[in-house]
Structure formats: structure tokens, C-alpha cells
Structure 1
Amino acid sequence: MAAVAAIADPRRRARLLRVMGVTPWRLRTSPGVAVDDSAHDAGGSVMGVDAVCVVVIPAGCSERELDLLGRALRASGSVVARAARLEVGAQGLGPVPVARSYLVFGEGQARALGHDLPAAVMSAAHIVLVDTPAAVLADPAAKRRLWNGLRALRRALATS
């Protein structure tokens, strides 16, 4: 029991880290995004706080659909191209990183995002809903809606 108390002492921990040459880092969050306990993983660390953009796609997309998705995201700039991509499976999304904006492909994925994302984060984020990648391949109007959605996303990222 005394060993646990000695490890838990923050001054001793800081001294030991300094002796070992380890620089402790702290996760900083922006004041605009509220983070609650549902944004923590099992280890207690905050997952992806203040990520710029997250892309939510349906599970089981074909290579052609993923290629189209990658090309469209790269055409929208480096911030959107490097966005985290989550697939909605049978169990939903699971842990969702907190981000300033979400690009959601399809209404089913939007429902899963609304189910797994805390309300405070959802109200603070900019969410863009576009058609599924399969619909974008098949329908020219869906492709136009994708480009309009990406334009709105770029505009929202530029202002924040």
C-alpha cells in the first residue's frame, strides 16, 4: 500500500521523470469544444480531442468507391485529405473522436454518428451530410451534392 502511495505522489513522479530525461506532455483542448466522460477511452485518455475533421463512411465499400472517396478528399485540401476515417459496422461506430467537423456519407452513418456522439460535441461541430459513395458513383446529382458538401466543409474549416 505504501508503494502505491509513493508512486501516486505527483512531486516524486515529476522528479523521477526528470531524472530519467522524460518530458511529460499534457493534452490541451480548445475552450470551444466541451469534452465529457464519453469522449474517453478505456485507459482514461481523451481520444482525438480537437481533431479538425472526421469522415464517416459505410462499412464494406468497394475499392472503386474508396478510390473515389480518396480522390475527392485530396481535391479538398490537405486538412480534409488527412482526416480520420471511421466505418459504420453492425455495432455502429463505437468510440468517436471529438472533432470540429464531420463529413458523413449516407443517412445510416449520420444516425450512427448521432447515436454515438455526445450532444454537446454534436452541437458544437459542423456536420456535412452527403450521399453514400455508391450513390456518388451512380448518380451525377449525388456527385454534385458531394462537391457542394466539400465546398461547405472547406468554408467551415477556413473560418474556424
Structure 2
Amino acid sequence: MGITPWRLRTGPVASGTEAVPANDATGTVQTACVVVLPAGASARELDLVGRALRAYGPATGRAARLEAGERGLGDIPVAKAYIVFGEAQAKALGRNLPAAVMSAAQILLVDTPAAILTDPAAKRRLWNGLRTLGPTLRGA
């Protein structure tokens, strides 16, 4: 009759203690890229940033995103590259990131999402900055 029986295959279930954290105790880099955004960005601004990051590739499209608010950034994952939208967010990153991690990572400072929406030169600076991150994110 041409019927193929299907069975649900189940493997061993990983417990919560076996999960590898983004930053282990040795300080090795597990995250490729972290994006630091200003708090309170509009949906249109976040959509623009998301589309720009996804257009450049999976490393930036799936990057961890942090908002720099009044309380700072909190726990920042160790990464190869940081994309920072705005000077105030760069200062918050500098206050919260250890010096050893900061010196080993590539930090890209671009305009705020609001400026990128309105200024074509800011869009060019964002794209040129993402191009400079290419070798870092590819592991070169």
C-alpha cells in the first residue's frame, strides 16, 4: 500500500547542569558578537537595526542584544566583537567591561538608531563598520 510507519525517536534529555554557559569560568570567548543598543528605542529603530544586522550575516543577525539604560548594562557576555549604537552606550560598555576583555575584543562604535534612520551618511558608516568586523567574525 505504500505506507511507511513512523516512530518518534527520543534521545537522552540533557539536564540543566550540562548546559554550557555563554561565558565559562576560564574566560574563553563563546559569543561571536554583542550589540549594545540605547534603552527606549522605537520599534522602527529596532527593526532597522535588526534588518541591517541580519543582512550582514548570521553572526551579527543572531548577536546578543543589550540595552544600556539607567542601571547600566548588567552582565555583559565575553565576545570577539561589540557593536555599540551611540556614545553613551559606549561609555556604559567601558564602565562594565573588564579591561582584559576590552583589549582583546574589537569594538565598533556607530551612530544611534535614530540617527541611522534619518542620515544617509550614518547608514554608510554602519555598513562600513560592519564590513570591518568581517575578518573578526569569520575567525581570521
Say yes or no: TM over 0.5: yes
**2:108 is equivalent to residue 142 of structure 1:** no
Structure 1 partner of 2:70: 90
Structure 2 partner of 1:131: 111
Structure 1 partner of 2:135: 155
Tell me the TM-score normalized by structure 1: 0.70
**2:52 is equivalent to residue 72 of structure 1:** yes
Tell me the TM-score normalized by structure 2: 0.80
1:117 maps to a residue whose letter is L
CA drift of 1:155 comes to 2.7
Equivalent pairs, count: 125
SS across alignment from 1:129? strand
Structure 2 partner of 1:51: 31
Structure 1 spans left out of the alignment, 5+ residues: 1-20, 36-47
Q: CA RMSD in A?
A: 2.4
Residues 27-66 of structure 1 mapped to structure 2, 5 A cutoff: 27=20, 35=27, 49-66=29-46
Structure 2 partner of 1:4: none
Distance 2:14 2:73 in 1: 35
- Which structure's residues are more often helix, by fraction? 1
Q: Rg larger in 1 or in 2? A: 1
Provide closer, same or farther for how the CA distance between residues 91 and 141 of structure 1 changes in structure 2, counting only shifts above 3 A: same
Identity %: 62
CA drift of 1:154 comes to 1.9
